[in-house]
Amino acid sequence: MSIRTLVVDDEPIARHSVVRLLREDADIDILGEYGDGASALEAIRRCAPDLVFLDIQMPEMTGIDVIASLGEERLPATVFITAFEQYAVRAFEANAVDYLVKPFSRERFITTLRRAKHRLLAGAGVADAVPAQVLQALAELRREQSYARRIPVSVDGSVTLLDVANIDWIEANRNSVLLHIGKQVYELRETMVALEGRLNPRHFARVHRSAIVNIDRIKAIHPWFKGYHMVVLTTGEQLRMSRYQHETFMGLARFQTRDP
């Protein structure tokens, strides 16, 4: 059996590694390799490959954009290549989609290729189910990517980009907010409500009308008086949780149970 295959990755080293490993398999017929999404989209439409190794993070046109442009009917079997990002891995695993995390080992590549070949050889029954799974995973990725990952703040007349993941907690300050990162505090001219809408709710939770916390920074949650609770951060900061934030508290409690 000859499996017509395309390789798409904007990093030449990663792309050549995939091609080199594919050439070790006699069943693989490499139709071409591409370094950008637009060229890949044109090649997929023109060549109708059986299998595509597709990088997710590419400038201008991402792997997600390529798949969205193809649509479910023309979607080949796809192995997604990604830099290590937990949300991507979670989305792929939840939907049983094949993926490779850079840098990948030869053993991992062979295992992934074997799984992809098995799905192709399994027949129409399995193949028909794959596109829906892939599209579901990509929908989750697109939703995750819409959240802010870096926030620009003004510092001494210049702009500094702060990684959202480094923020410990956020404090309301009238019509602005204060971003607490370790011992540093940065002021951002944005309302609490507006900023909350740009943050991933899987990672940040509103515990009070004047406080949002990074869930990864939570050390403990202690009962307090009159139905309130106290959130203790890994930095030692203690923040009172509003008794009206019951759903938030339950979510944080589940978080603590999962990751003690």
Which phi and psi angles does 256 have, rounded to 5°?
A: -65, -40
pLDDT at 254 over 80: no
Which comes out higher in pLDDT, residue 11 or 228? 11
Query: What is the band of 260 on the pLDDT scale with cuts at 50, 70, 90?
Result: very low
Q: Are 230 and 212 within one domain?
A: yes
Query: What is the band of 127 on the pLDDT scale with cuts at 50, 70, 90?
Result: very low
**pLDDT in the model for residue 257:** 43
> What does the pLDDT look like over 146-196, one tens digit per residue?
777 889 888 887 888 999 999 999 999 988 999 999 999 999 988 898 898
Which comes out higher in pLDDT, residue 135 or 219? 219
76, with CB counted inside 10 A (0-12, 13-18, 19+), is buried
Return the ∠ at Cα 51 (arms to 45 and 54), rounded to 5°: 80
> What does the pLDDT look like over 65-75, one tens digit per residue?
888 788 665 77
Distance between CA 223 and CA 127 in Å, rounded? 52
pLDDT at 46 over 50: yes
Mean pLDDT of 118-146: 65
Q: Are strands 28-34 and 3-8 parallel, antiparallel or unpaired?
A: parallel
Distance between CA 168 and CA 157 in Å, rounded? 24
Distance between CA 87 and CA 72 in Å, rounded? 22
Q: Are 7 and 135 within one domain?
A: yes
Domain limits at 181? Answer: 151-258
Query: What is the band of 128 on the pLDDT scale with cuts at 50, 70, 90?
Result: very low
Percent of the chain with pLDDT over 90: 40
CATH of the domain at 225: 2.40.50.1020
Mean pLDDT of 242-247: 64
Last residue of a domain, one of 145, 176, 207: 145
**pLDDT in the model for residue 210:** 92
Residue type, 96: A
Mean pLDDT of 66-93: 75
Q: Are 159 and 208 within one domain?
A: yes
**pLDDT in the model for residue 129:** 45
**pLDDT in the model for residue 212:** 94
pLDDT at 10 over 90: yes
Q: Token match 């307090």: residue?
A: 224
CATH of the domain at 59: 3.40.50.2300
Last residue of a domain, one of 126, 145, 164: 145
Q: What does each C-alpha distance from 195 to 64, 151, 162, 205, 218 come to in angstroms?
A: 26, 10, 14, 12, 20
Which residues 6+ apart lie within 8 Å of 50 measured at CB? 3, 4, 5, 76, 77, 120
**pLDDT in the model for residue 259:** 41
Q: Are 163 and 236 within one domain?
A: yes
Last residue of a domain, one of 145, 177, 209: 145
Average pLDDT, the chain: 83
Q: Are 135 and 157 within one domain?
A: no
Q: Are 121 and 163 within one domain?
A: no
Which comes out higher in pLDDT, residue 242 or 28? 28
CB neighbourhood size of 101 (10 A):
15
Q: Tell me if the bond preceding 103 is cis, omega within 30° of 0.
A: yes
Query: What is the band of 248 on the pLDDT scale with cuts at 50, 70, 90?
Result: low
Q: How many domains does the chain have?
A: 2
Q: Are 161 and 210 within one domain?
A: yes
Q: Are 110 and 160 within one domain?
A: no
> What does the pLDDT look like over 94-113, one tens digit per residue?
555 788 888 889 999 999 99
CA 196 to chain centre: 19
Q: Are 211 and 83 within one domain?
A: no
Percent of the chain with pLDDT over 70: 80
Q: Are 128 and 176 within one domain?
A: no
Which comes out higher in pLDDT, residue 202 or 239? 239
